Amino acid sequence: MPIGIFDSGLGGLTVQQEVSLRIPNQAIVYLGDNFHVPYGVRDHEQIYDLTHKAIERLWGEDCDLVIIACNTASAVAVKRIQEECLPRDKRVLGVFVPLIEAVTERRWGDNSAPREVNVKQVALFATPATVATRAFQRELAYRAIGVDVDAQPCGGLVDAIEENDLKLAEALVKSHVSALLRRMPKPDVAVLGCTHYPILKDCFQSALGSNVQVYSQGKIVAESLVDYLSRHPNFVEKGQVKFLTTGNITKVSKAATRLLAKTIEFTSV
């Protein structure tokens, strides 16, 4: 069976690319809800409904394991779906927990009591909806104590990336980083809490300075998935990568190809 990877748009491709590098020939179905992007400005019920529909679409593609490669959807919808409407033979995983485990240097699946960690100040960059949920802080509190998080809602950034307006996107990054640094001048690490943002990781690093370690999710989630599959080999299946979108297939394919500097061909849902 293929593994499903879902994102509100193109950002989840940063996860898909790393997964395909770590697990070559793994069958994957990628679904981008480009018609409704961005999720970060929608209310929680809209985000939940759109995420649920996308997951059901991937179940229809025989994806018994679905990775929600959208931080907003992960923050708002994953726990509710897992608790309320997840069939016994399906699994839905978010992207927050692997990221927090990496930042706090906790091993995958370490569920011991929270403790002090080396990181004391974390700068979080995420969509307005993700920031509003405080999901990152909540998950962090399960694993670490004594960590101060300052979250910057990065309005407009996903839109600029989806439209491939990288000049505007870079200007927005500089503005959002500047706003956060006025509140937290010396963060230990910065977390890119949206899978679109790694496309501009170098820009974030430049604006933050070389002394701040920047975490993005592609490699982290891929490593977590490798560990998960070693314990659940029934989800491993060789095959191709299939790209689906709810948006305009020509526009989405061109945007994905430009962003990744390789040919990506989407088909319609």
With cut-offs at 50, 70 and 90, classify the pLDDT of residue 109. Answer: low
d(CA 14, CA 216): 9
Cis peptide before 185 (omega within 30 of 0): no
State pLDDT tens for residues 190-224.
999 999 999 999 999 999 999 999 999 999 999 99
**Is 194 in the active site?**
yes
d(CA 216, CA 193): 7
| 3-96+218-268 and 97-216 agree in CATH topology | yes
Residue 104 tokens, joined? 């706090």
Residue 172 tokens, joined? 């927005």
**Is 203 in the active site?**
no
Percent of the chain scoring above 90 in pLDDT: 87
The one-letter amino acid at 156: G
User: Is 97-216 CATH 3.90.1150.10?
Assistant: no
Residue 108: predicted pLDDT: 62
Backbone angles phi and psi of 263, in degrees to 5: -70, 125
Q: Of residues 63, 154, 194, 203, which has the active-site annotation?
A: 194
Residue carrying structure tokens 């790209």: 243
- Give the architecture-level CATH label for domain 3-96+218-268: 3-Layer(aba) Sandwich (3.40)
Question: What's the angle, vertex CA 74, arms to CA 73 and CA 80, rounded to 5?
Answer: 90
Q: Of residues 70, 85, 154, 203, which has the active-site annotation?
A: 70
Report domain extents, the chain. Answer: 3-96+218-268, 97-216
d(CA 10, CA 33): 9
d(CA 115, CA 122): 16
State pLDDT tens for residues 154-186.
999 999 999 989 999 999 999 999 999 999 999
State the average pLDDT over residues 122-148: 94
